Amino acid sequence: MIRENTFDHPYYVVWMSFRFSKIIRNIGRWAVYALLPLIFISCQKKEYSREEAIRSLKVLNGDVSGFLTKAGEMEEMAALRFLWDHDSLPLPFATEKFSADQPWKPYDFNASKGVYSLDSLRPVFLRKEESHEVSLLFSGPEIPEGEFMLKDYQAAEISSRPDFPLKLEAELKLKGLKGEKRMTISHAAQVSDDLPEAVNSSIKTEDSGVSFTLRRTRKKNDGTLFLQLDVEKKGFHFIRADLNATIGYSSMGYYFKDIRFNMEVFSHLATGFIRYGLIDPTARDYAASFNAHSDIRLYEMPGKRLVGKLVLSKSPQGDLLDYFIRFKDGSLVPVSEYLPFMDRLLNLKI
């Protein structure tokens, strides 16, 4: 008798499928048992003690300070600072430098085209020859020989001065000891209602990049605003921030109603919301109004351990308001004490 192939037998197939599903169920059950301690541990309140939180803040400050120092030491940044300090620069923004205290002249890209070089006696850029772009040849005591090229520039007049750039393509070349370094700057934007509606900007070097995105919508007098920032080096994204806001419109521009944001900086995450529209700027106790309508938390990643909550309070020295971090034990420390760089960011009015 030729034995029938067991695998072809329909009952065996059904039996095996039951068996298989049972095995899977068992594996699943054991996986859950194995994970229970982890789930239990992770469900516990993950909030750092004051000492742990201070250690965490020091780590964050070290990360950011190190990044800012290194960024500041980049030859590309030194070259841009060098150019910015020259009043004779035939570039947009340079002559006005965002000052709002005097009438300004829109930047004329076509009239500015040419090859310029730095005068040897005075710190002035002089046009040497015609060109289809703005080309600046320079060198300085602390920067290598370089060239900055503004290849394209278009702008539109908007409510905020100066003219808002709709298109900008630029390149920086530096002759370093280890060969030529390049930085490219690219920017494209759309404007509506006298305000930026869409922005895509990027700055790229050979191994790093910064990108910024803005999207604004409008429906009658309500709308939304989305901002995104990404900073990376060699594929490692060490700053990633996004902000979603609902906004209201007026003849003066727009104002915030609700703000939600996430900001990953190295191994930390700042996240939260501000119900800006409900905060009363004329309240006798403004700090209480701000704290009642906002929730801003700082976590350390991975593991999402809560370092502290950000609150507004009067400084111990007097009546001046300052941002503080509230630790697990309820104690407050000024943000500037452990994160000096945050003060500048928090005081920016968007």
Partner 1 sequence: MKMKSMALLMLLSIVVFVGCDLLKGGEDEVTDPSKTMGRVGNYWDLQSTGYTASKITVDSNTDGNVVASYIYNGKTYQLEGKVTDKGIYDYVYSNGDKNKPFTLVKFDAKVGDQWEFKVGTQTVVRKVTHVSTDNDTYYGMLMIKTIDVEETIPSGLQVKGAASPFTKILWKFNHKFGFIMAFGTKTNGTTVNLYSYDTNADD
Q: Which residues bind partner 1 (CB under 8 A)?
A: 98-101, 103, 159-161, 248-255, 277, 280-283, 286, 312, 320-323, 346-349
The set of residues, in sequence order, having a beta carbon less than 8 Å from that of 234 and lying 6+ positions away, is: 207, 208
Element (H, E) at 148: strand 143-156
14/278 with CB nearer partner 1: 278
Q: In the complex, what is the shortest distance from the CB of residue 132 to partner 1, in angstroms, rounded to a whole number?
A: 32
Distance CA 103, CA 247 (A): 29
Distance CA 263, CA 14 (A): 53
165, 187 Cβ separation under 8 angstroms: yes
12/104 with CB nearer partner 1: 104
Q: In the complex, what is the shortest distance from the CB of residue 88 to partner 1, in angstroms, rounded to a whole number?
A: 21
Q: In the complex, what is the shortest distance from the CB of residue 216 to partner 1, in angstroms, rounded to a whole number?
A: 13
| Alpha-carbon distances of 156 from 20, 153, 159, 304, rounded to whole Å | 67, 10, 10, 44
Question: SS3 breakdown of the chain: % helix, strand, coil, rounded to 5?
Answer: 25, 45, 30
Q: In the complex, what is the shortest distance from the CB of residue 243 to partner 1, in angstroms, rounded to a whole number?
A: 16
Distance CA 115, CA 103 (A): 28
220/349 with CB nearer partner 1: 349
Q: In the complex, what is the shortest distance from the CB of residue 248 to partner 1, in angstroms, rounded to a whole number?
A: 6
Element (H, E) at 295: strand 294-300
151/326 with CB nearer partner 1: 326
209/223 with CB nearer partner 1: 223
160/262 with CB nearer partner 1: 160
Q: Tell me which residue of 251, 160, 237, 172 sits closest to 204, measured CA to CA.
A: 172
243, 227 Cβ separation under 8 angstroms: yes
Q: In the complex, what is the shortest distance from the CB of residue 187 to partner 1, in angstroms, rounded to a whole number?
A: 17
